Chains A and B, each alone.
Chain A
Amino acid sequence: MDLLLNQILAGISTGAIYACMALAVVMIYQAIDHLNFAQGEMAMFSTFISWQLMQWGLPYWVAFAITLVLSFIGGIVIERLLFKPLAKAPILTNVAGFIALFAILNSSAGLIWDFTIKEYPTPFGSSPFLGSQLISTHQAGMIGVTVLLLIALYVFFRYTRIGLAMRAAASVPESARLVGINTSWMIALGWGMAAAIGSIAGMLIAPVVFLEPNMMVSILLYGFAAAVLGGLTSPFGAVIGGFLVGIIENLAGTYIPGVGNELKLPIALALIITVLVIKPAGLFGRPVVKRV
């Protein structure tokens, strides 16, 4: 029983990271209708920046905050420089853009900080949480930070005017322009926020997977699985999908004979395919209907 509970809680804590990545992917997907393959690399690069800041002697939370701001700005810059010019380009051109961004970030990180695996600190410690063996303080911290982030995002999109404008621009761009919203900047803002959310995911998971240029590759795959499971059109679904993928991954690794740690990743892929075959819109997504 303890093992089951332990695996579910651990699943929720890594699921929180998947939820963040899925949310970042969905935010950009909502804005520009493309999957950002470089979302993980952006998060990884942000995490390296925070590590560098700490190496220079800044305390954890200061580095965390600065990284958040830098990532936000970086996301906007990437959109303005690379993807705004591609806005009307065909899908494959955009895909090429994402792959280029992936390669640039991955290689630059390797060039600047090299490919050796680095330890990354946790501000929460790794002792048992509240004296319980079920979950560590860092895992609890991951869940806590994610929940705070989700609440902040909910409040932002539900109760602020800029959040309302962003939702409008994503849902009916033409009408949004007709009420005077600069949709192009809303997209840039979406990129900035997605980059910042990704950076949080990167900084939280780095103590677990260790810091290196390829740290986010598999995390992003789980994030994609989560986004597809929850529905690419639903931020709420993406978050639920993230937690579900985290739990499924852990339980399958523990209880299905032969899966173990090595075969966890194919589960994410199997999940993507299963969802796409059975319910392409995902659990919470709305099917896209187009008039022709």
Chain B
Amino acid sequence: MTALLNIKALNAYYGQVQALHGLEFSLNEGSVTTLLGANGAGKTTTLRAICNMVRTTGAIEFAGAPLSSRPTENIVRLGIAHVPQGRGTFTTMTVEENLELGAITRSKAGIAADIERMYAYFPVLKQRHTQQAGTLSGGEQQMLAVARALMLRPRLMLLDEPSFGLAPLIVRDLFRILGKINREDKVTILVVEQNAQLALEIADHAYVIETGRIVMSGKAAEIADNEDIRKSYLGY
């Protein structure tokens, strides 16, 4: 397997504060990788660094091309869809307009069919397609955010705490669909989670991050089975 995303010696800064310290990891094409860690460990910053939304040094390569000097919107155009923390919903627009926006960089062909495909994944979105997105519940907005990201037909999807604020049943459902998307649409997924147990279930590979450094990495199943790691880093 080849690495779709390759990160080397990545530092990230918020003003004077350094949030990432020499991060190194890579994602295999077609895999699901999870980045685990406590609050403030640098998980969100890592995702933001990939999309050039924070100041960074170091190298990020996507499918062999360096990303660091590109503006965010051009990185997205390469096929990297980012589902941000807080979902980034266009609250004043309808559900359908949100989905159309996800595909705004594509040519018009196939968009209508893709919207129908999203409605098949998330039937609740179809029921609400003319509704203002801001009126959706948290879980529905998260589904909308994932669907919006998929409308890009991404090669890589970055998910920032998709389980945040959602009821356990809804979270299960969402992760089941994420697994399906990975298998059927061949989308490589990098998911940041505090809910480690859940993330490890769908992931192939896991990295544990602490104060801006990778402290552990391995196959998801191995990390889930290792009681020491679970207790000291993942808290369950």
Asked if B73 contacts A174 (CB within 8 A), the reply is no
Q: Is the interface on chain B under 10, 10 to 19, 20 to 34, or 35 or more residues? A: 20 to 34
A292 vs chain B, min Cβ distance (A): 15
* A178 in contact (CB, < 8 A): yes
Asked if B93 contacts A171 (CB within 8 A), the reply is yes
| Residues 38 to 64 of chain B near chain A (Cβ within 8 Å) | 51, 53
Asked if B93 contacts A168 (CB within 8 A), the reply is yes
Q: Given A167-B93, A171-B93, are A178 and B88 also a contact pair (CB < 8 Å)?
A: yes
Stretch at the interface among B3-11, B100-108, B179-187, B194-202: B100-108
Asked if B72 contacts A168 (CB within 8 A), the reply is no
Q: Which of A164, A171, A177, A183 has the most CB of B within 10 A?
A: A177
Residues 155-193 of chain A: 1 if any B CB is under 8 Å from the residue's CB, otherwise 0? Answer: 000000100110110011011111111110000000000
A173 vs chain B, min Cβ distance (A): 10
B93 to chain A: which residues have CB within 8 Å?
Answer: 164, 167-168, 171
B51 vs chain A, min Cβ distance (A): 7
The one of B73, B88, B101, B148 that contacts A164, using a Cβ cutoff of 8 Å: B101
* B177 in contact (CB, < 8 A): no
The one of A177, A179, A182 that contacts B152, using a Cβ cutoff of 8 Å: A179
A174 to chain B: which residues have CB within 8 Å?
Answer: 53, 84, 88
For the complex, give the distance between the alpha carbons of A164 and B98 in Å. 9
A27 vs chain B, min Cβ distance (A): 16
Q: Given A175-B89, A175-B90, A178-B88, are A168 and B73 also a contact pair (CB < 8 Å)?
A: no
Asked if B100 contacts A164 (CB within 8 A), the reply is yes
Q: Given A178-B84, A179-B148, A181-B73, are A165 and B101 also a contact pair (CB < 8 Å)?
A: yes
Asked if B72 contacts A175 (CB within 8 A), the reply is no
Q: Given A171-B90, A172-B90, are A177 and B72 also a contact pair (CB < 8 Å)?
A: yes
A164 to chain B: which residues have CB within 8 Å?
Answer: 93, 97, 100-101, 104
A126 vs chain B, min Cβ distance (A): 43
Q: Given A168-B93, A171-B92, A172-B90, are A178 and B104 also a contact pair (CB < 8 Å)?
A: no
Residue of A nearest to B148 (CB): A179
Asked if B84 contacts A180 (CB within 8 A), the reply is no
For the complex, give the distance between the alpha carbons of A165 and B103 in Å. 11
For the complex, give the distance between the alpha carbons of A177 and B102 in Å. 11
Q: Which of B71, B81, B92, B108 has the most CB of A within 10 A?
A: B92
Extra inter-chain contacts (14) besides given A164-B100, A175-B89, CB under 8 Å: A168-B90, A174-B84, A174-B88, A175-B88, A177-B73, A178-B51, A178-B72, A179-B76, A179-B102, A179-B148, A180-B76, A180-B104, A180-B105, A181-B73
